[in-house]
Amino acid sequence: MQIGELCAKAGLPKDTVRYYERQGLLDKIPQPNLSNNYKVYSAVDLQRLKMIKHAKMLGFTLSEIADVLTVWIEDEFSVEQKRACLERKLIQIEEKELALKELRAGINNALFKVGLPCDDAF
């Protein structure tokens, strides 16, 4: 598929897809016909873009996303290394989840207290 169709399916602008490609988050896409600038993207590229978009919505940086993609894709990592790297990332996600739960509780507490007299004198 060409970039327009890819972007429509991924829900991303062309500039974003091109940026991700320049950053190495997508494989270098070959141009099948050197007489034009059209590149042909695959279903794997679409899947990767959807994963990147979802991870970004959850607050992950492109660097963090690139780390996971690199570990998952590169053949230089053994199965054990891939597993260890992904488990470390999972621990980080769980830590973020806990921090978000604590933040939610604090905001809910503050929301409950809005309009009540302040009893924290000190």
pLDDT for position 71: 75
Angle, to 10 degrees, between the axis of helix 3-10 and the axis of helix 43-57?
40
How much is the average pLDDT of 32-43?
Answer: 76
CA-nearest of 76, 82, 65, 58 to 19 is: 65
Task: Tell me: pLDDT of 40 over 80.
Answer: yes
Quickly name the fold that domain 1-58 has: Multidrug-efflux Transporter Regulator; Chain: A; Domain 2 (1.10.1660)
pLDDT for position 34: 61
Give the dihedral sign, CA 5/11/15/19: negative
How much is the average pLDDT of 33-38?
Answer: 68
Query: Over the stretch 80-117, which tens digit does the pLDDT of each residue have?
Result: 887 887 888 889 889 989 999 999 999 999 999 998 88
pLDDT for position 121: 54
Is 112 strand, coil or helix? helix
Which tokens hold the place of 5?
């169709």
Q: Where are the domains of the chain?
A: 1-58, 75-114
pLDDT for position 11: 96
